[in-house]
Amino acid sequence: MTTMKERMLAGELYIADDLEIAADLDRAARLTERFNTSSADEPEGRLAALRELLGTVGEGAWVRPPFYCDYGWQTHLGPRTFVNFNAVFLDVARITIGADVQLGPNVQLLTATHPVEPEPRRAKWEAAKPITIGDNVWLGGGVIVLAGVTIGENTVVGAGAVVTRDLPANVVAVGNPARPVRTLG
């Protein structure tokens, strides 16, 4: 028999009230609070909290507090990536962010999904799909990326866009839902 955490990691329906999952949520809440309340005068302490919280923090990557996530260890930041204020990463599934990525303020990466049918939703079942962001991507302020999306390298997503489907490399995408409007040469 698989545990709820194993089901979660496999992308299957699971119930988040599970004790093992709740312990991971509590760990992330403590580390997130430590990161968000750390002093700007002590960048090494802030970076240490971030490295303890997240799965991977590439060389030169930086996150500006406040930052919010579910688990932390499901998030992987590539080198020289910058995450601006008020980022929300619902990292129920893996979030992989490449090198040299720039995320504007209030960006949300949402891997969680819920059943559309009322009864399973009422029973608290949920699932998740990973998000992958390629190298040198720029997400403008307030961009929302939904579960299961991959954004190709060098792509720019305009402020306020909602990314519901994969975006190819080397495009500018805008709108809700986000759609490519220009190819980058």
Q: What are the catalytic residues?
A: 114
* Strand order across the 82-83 sheet: 62-63, 82-83, 102-103, 138-139, 156-157, 171-174, 179-183
Residue type (1 letter), 134: G
Q: Where are the alpha helices (DSSP H) in 37-182?
A: 43-53, 118-122
Q: Where are the alpha helices (DSSP H) in the chain?
A: 4-9, 19-36, 43-53, 118-122
Q: Is 143 helix (H, G, I), strand (E, B) or coil?
A: coil
**Residue 72 neighbours by CB distance under 10 Å:** 22
